[in-house]
Amino acid sequence: MAFRATDRVVPVSVNRIEIEAEVPFETLRRAFEAEVPPLDEERFRQLVANGAEWRAFQQAAGGNSIHSFVTFWRNYPSAIMKVGGADIPSASYLIGDYATAARMFRHDAGVMLYAPLRLELHANRSGGTVLTVDQPSSQLTSLQNNKITQTGYELDRMLGDLLEELGLPRPAALRR
């Protein structure tokens, strides 16, 4: 079966933020996971099943900290990568909050390419940890919608708040 379709290529310039922290990988990983709790999926299933109003979703959507992020997904590739010859501790996450994503989604469902945010941690050779994340506003600007771009700047601020809660410096790119 073949579907009629058109395509386009949208050039996107993204700012990747890399923070090298003088803290052991496991210490920063544990702090991150304590600061950005897993999404309570069962709670959201119950809200949907009960036909809850949006306000109930908003109240349940964010984390308990100033940044309001929760973890939607996490991956620890280290064991498999070790078999492949690279013994480097690493963890990847998808983080965000539904309330912020919904404000963008109503303007362009394509925001789900960038929300939730992808964040990665890995050990470096000096015993510290590298935290890597793409700057949200630099991704979201590519959708060419002012409301989405403004929310991207808000996500920049929230990401900076998270980094500060972890005891890391707020990068200049996240100071708006």
Query: Over the stretch 82-133, which tens digit does the pLDDT of each residue have?
Result: 899 999 999 999 999 888 999 999 999 999 999 999 999 999 999 999 999 9
Q: What is the pTM of this model?
A: 0.92
What is the number of residues in the chain?
Answer: 176
**CB burial class (10 A; 0-12, 13-18, 19+) of residue 61?**
buried
Phi, psi of 100 (to 5 degrees): -65, -45
The Cα diameter of the chain in Å comes to 55
Query: How many C-alpha atoms does 174 have within 13 Å on its Cβ side?
Result: 23
Percent of the chain with pLDDT over 70: 98
d(CA 171, CA 175): 7
d(CA 129, CA 131): 6
Spell out the domain ranges in the chain: 17-168
Q: Where residue 63 falls among pLDDT bands split at 50, 70, 90?
A: low
Q: Which of 50-64, 69-83, 142-156 has the lowest mean pLDDT?
A: 50-64
Q: Fold for domain 17-168? A: TATA-Binding Protein (3.30.310)
d(CA 160, CA 141): 18
pLDDT higher than threshold 70 for residue 56: yes
**Tokens (6 digits) for 129:** 């940890």
pLDDT higher than threshold 80 for residue 61: no
Distances (CA, A) of 45 to 6, 41, 51, 56, 62: 36, 6, 10, 12, 16
